[in-house]
Chains A and B, each alone.
Chain A
Amino acid sequence: NAGVTQTPKFRVLKTGQSMTLLCAQDMNHEYMYWYRQDPGMGLRLIHYSVGEGTTAKGEVPDGYNVSRLKKQNFLLGLESAAPSQTSVYFCASSTWDSNQPQHFGDGTRLSIL
């Protein structure tokens, strides 16, 4: 099992460009999450999904959109990238059981110039 796979691993964008980060999980998990991790800030939840076709806002959703067209995939989009969105982005998945942990990918390092 690959677990949670994120693509790409690294990306450099110019301000105003758009891009989509892809997250795929092979554990048949219902829930999926997108976080950003910044120095001194810890992991912050951007958006999450509790099932195929559903999405919801997390703590820091502004400037991002998401889609969950298939259960195994969760896409994070930046429509018009800003330098403040320079960060490391992590995707995670979990079952519906709150006693079970989240499983994380290894992140996408995104720089906005």
Chain B
Amino acid sequence: SQKIEQNSEALNIQEGKTATLTCNYTNYSPAYLQWYRQDPGRGPVFLLLIRENEKEKRKERLKVTFDTTLKQSLFHITASQPADSATYLCASRTETGANNLFFGTGTRLTVIP
């Protein structure tokens, strides 16, 4: 069955550095991947979507890549700030039904001042 994995449960990084989060998928070929941010006690908030024919997508300090050979997406936050501390979720469309999404378990990022 399709599987999406975010290998790092937690990542600590110094303020100003670039944070890189990984999302790996197996047993399927998603047409796109989505990245969401989730703060404690809040629902996920959409950040970026990257399609399989796009190598890279940028939005302000955020960059997402999609490597169909490695079956992997990387999510980068440049010049990280303490306000970037949150859990980041990777998601892709499921093989069944509507626009249903299948989520990874998330990576909790902490940016240390």
CB pair B105–A106 under 8 Å, yes or no, is no
**A–B Cβ pairs within 8 angstroms, 16 of them:** A4-B43, A42-B89, A43-B89, A45-B94, A45-B100, A50-B98, A56-B98, A58-B97, A92-B43, A94-B99, A96-B99, A99-B49, A100-B99, A103-B46, A106-B43, A107-B42
CB pair A90–B43 under 8 Å, yes or no, is yes
Q: How far is the CA of A25 from the CA of B105 in the complex (A)?
A: 26
CB pair A101–B105 under 8 Å, yes or no, is no
Tell me which residues across on chain B come within 8 A of A74, comparing CB atoms. Answer: none
CB pair A31–B99 under 8 Å, yes or no, is yes
Q: Which residue of A lies closest to B39 (CB)?
A: A106
CB pair A104–B100 under 8 Å, yes or no, is no
Tell me which residues across on chain A come within 8 A of B100, comparing CB atoms. Answer: 33, 45, 48, 58
Binding site for B on A (CB under 8 A): 4, 31, 33, 40-45, 48, 50, 56, 58, 90, 92, 94, 96-107
Q: How far is the CA of A99 from the CA of B99 in the complex (A)?
A: 9
Q: How far is the CA of A4 from the CA of B101 in the complex (A)?
A: 17
Q: How far is the CA of A31 from the CA of B94 in the complex (A)?
A: 15
Number of interface residues of B (CB under 8 A): 26
**Interchain nearest-CB distance for A56 vs B (Å):** 6
| Cβ of B44 under 8 Å from chain A | yes
Tell me which residues across on chain A come within 8 A of B51, comparing CB atoms. Answer: 99
Q: How far is the CA of A92 from the CA of B46 in the complex (A)?
A: 11
Tell me which residues across on chain B come within 8 A of A48, comparing CB atoms. Answer: 97-98, 100
Q: How far is the CA of A69 from the CA of B97 in the complex (A)?
A: 20
Q: How far is the CA of A107 from the CA of B36 in the complex (A)?
A: 15
A4, A90, A98, A103: which has the most chain B beta carbons within 10 Å? A98
Q: Mark B88-102, 1 if CB is under 8 A from A, else 0.
A: 010101100111111
CB pair A101–B106 under 8 Å, yes or no, is no
CB pair A104–B103 under 8 Å, yes or no, is no
CB pair B103–A101 under 8 Å, yes or no, is no
Contact A105/B34 with A41-B105, A99-B49 known, Cβ cut-off 8 Å: no
CB pair A98–B99 under 8 Å, yes or no, is yes
**Interchain nearest-CB distance for A5 vs B (Å):** 11
